[in-house]
Amino acid sequence: MAEARIARTENPKYGVVPFLGPDFLRTNMFGADPFALMRRFADTAWHPAIDVKREKGKLLVYAELPGLKKEDVRVAITGDLLEIEGERKLEMEEKRNGYVHSERNYGKFYRAIALPERANAEKASAEFADGVLTIAIPIPEVTRTAKEIPVGEVKAKADLKH
């Protein structure tokens, strides 16, 4: 049987998730907090890859969600946060040469992305195609006005006025 290794990840609800290595089940669990033990199992959450960028007056968010359907994903703007959450339920069964191989993969995810000021939530749009969720939120272009200040030259210390 192959060894499964789960690395530490950051979870917004519980903080850092501890490493579940081969010694995990050999530890003394009788003196441990039962809720902490449950969190160790439950916090092996799925964190899909997300890219965020500004382009042509829009905030664009791309989330890679392979194996999901649009019905499995919820997108909402709450206050100044873009929230993306969903759940994957992947079941696979393969029958070949007299054996059956089945796998089940479940996982919930939640991501919250801070929106820039004056993001137009009313005109936000989301599309899902080929396992990629694309969200576009209009944001006003920031125009900065600059006034150039000429730099003079002082000829002598006597010319300096304090």
Predicted pLDDT of residue 151:
92
Predicted pLDDT of residue 122:
92
Predicted pLDDT of residue 53:
94
Q: Which fold has domain 48-138?
A: Immunoglobulin-like (2.60.40)
| Strands of the sheet with 99-114, listed across from one edge | 73-78, 81-96, 99-114
Higher pLDDT pick, 17 / 66: 66
pLDDT digits (tens, 9 = 90+) for 67-81: 888 999 999 999 999
Say if residue 146's pLDDT is above 70.
yes
Higher pLDDT pick, 143 / 52: 52
Question: What gap in Å lies between CA 21 and CA 40, rounded to an integer?
Answer: 11
Predicted pLDDT of residue 21:
44
Name the 3-class secondary structure at 76: strand
Find all residues with CB under 8 Å of 2, minimum gap 6, and list them: none
Predicted pLDDT of residue 92:
80
pLDDT digits (tens, 9 = 90+) for 7-41: 444 445 444 444 444 444 445 555 566 666 566 55
pTM for the structure as a whole: 0.57
Question: What gap in Å lies between CA 70 and CA 159, rounded to an integer?
Answer: 72
Question: What gap in Å lies between CA 55 and CA 42, rounded to an integer?
Answer: 37
pLDDT confidence tier of residue 162, bands split at 50, 70 and 90: low
Q: How many helices (H) and strands (E) does the chain have?
A: 1, 9
Domain residue spans in the chain?
1-45, 48-138
C-alpha distance across the termini of the chain, in Å: 81
pLDDT digits (tens, 9 = 90+) for 103-125: 777 788 999 999 988 899 999 99
